[in-house]
Amino acid sequence: MKKRMLRDIEVTAVGLGCMGFSHGYGLVPERADSITLIRTAYDMGCTFFDTAEAYGAGHNEELVGEALKSVRSDVVLATKLHIPDHNDKSVREVIREHLNASLKRLQTDYVDLYYQHRVNKSIPVEEVAECMGELIQEGKIRGWGQSQATVEEIRRANAVTSLTAIQSEYSMMERMFEKDVIPACEELGIGFVPFSPLASGFLSGKYTQNSKYVGDDVRRVITRYQKENVEANQPLLDLLNHFAVQKDVTPAQISLAWMLYKKDFIVPIPGMRKVERFKENLGACDEILSEEEYNAIEFELTKIEIHGNRTDEDIAKLYE
């Protein structure tokens, strides 16, 4: 697979978002099957794996750690911590405690990329950045990042300890970070890692207004999956299908290729739980789009209005 740089960390151009092996998209595979699938992604060339302490209350980190422990030195592990807004302990103490717990679950003595899982508005980013710098010096992490950060938060944090990557939602259906965050990442040499690059699967074209979602599947509460919005967003799927047929690829591959064409520091991490999805999404690393085709897609996208979105507030309703 082709490689890209998140500042000074080399990763495959498409990584594996592992959350779905623990929760978020309905019924999950059996533990042994999940471990086998994660390892299969590695065997197929993927070396960048994303997890978080919050995914299944540590369950996801355990799966990833077990699957990749024998190839640890050959992969890049990214995980995330949430810092509570109110805590009797210092920010340093909280970060170190959370990291040590993640290291134990991941069966490793260092994390390649350690994100703050959403930026607390009540905690100065400088405090977090300073602690991350200490952890880098100690060799417990190789780099650090923020999730869904604003340009101001990125610049303030980066001034203290250079950020490796920003992980935020980005796809053809959610482009708000193109205005300022992605340009700032380019200016500062920071990688950009899109989560939900296929809009929770919508851009694959595999779901319709009649699709049913059960259990903890976030698509139950994501508004772009409401029946009326699925219908209203059909022009986007038509556009993807048009180019997919022309190129003899899938709509998902067109979606990822469009993203990869934009900037060489963008590394999407689609969630995948089937070998055929590994082949499809990892295959998007190939040079699918020409400059002319990319420009044609960009032009057509300007004509399309997106209906519905994906917000943390909506997803929280799933667990109320």
> Which residues carry out catalysis?
55
Tokens read off for 60: 């996801």
φ/ψ of residue 4, rounded to 5: -140, 170
Closest to 244 (Cα-Cα) out of 211, 187, 206, 288: 288
Decide: 25 and 218 in contact? Cβ < 8 Å.
Answer: yes
Task: Give the DSSP letter string of the chain.
Answer: --EEEETTEEEESS-EE-GGGTSSSSSPPPHHHHHHHHHHHHHTT--EEE--TTTTTTHHHHHHHHHHGGGGGGSEEEEEE---SS-SS-HHHHHHHHHHHHHHHHTSS-EEEEEESS--TTS-HHHHHHHHHHHHHHTSEEEEEEES--HHHHHHHHHHS---EEEEE-BTTB-GGGTTHHHHHHHHT-EEEEESTTTTTGGGT---TT----TT-GGGT-GGGSHHHHHHTHHHHHHHHHHHHHHTS-HHHHHHHHHHHH-TTB----B--SHHHHHHHHGGGS----HHHHHHHHHHHTTPPP-----HHHHHGGG-
φ/ψ of residue 80, rounded to 5: -135, 150
Closest to 38 (Cα-Cα) out of 194, 102, 141, 30: 30
Cα–Cα dist 276/250, whole Å? 12
Tokens read off for 41: 């992604």
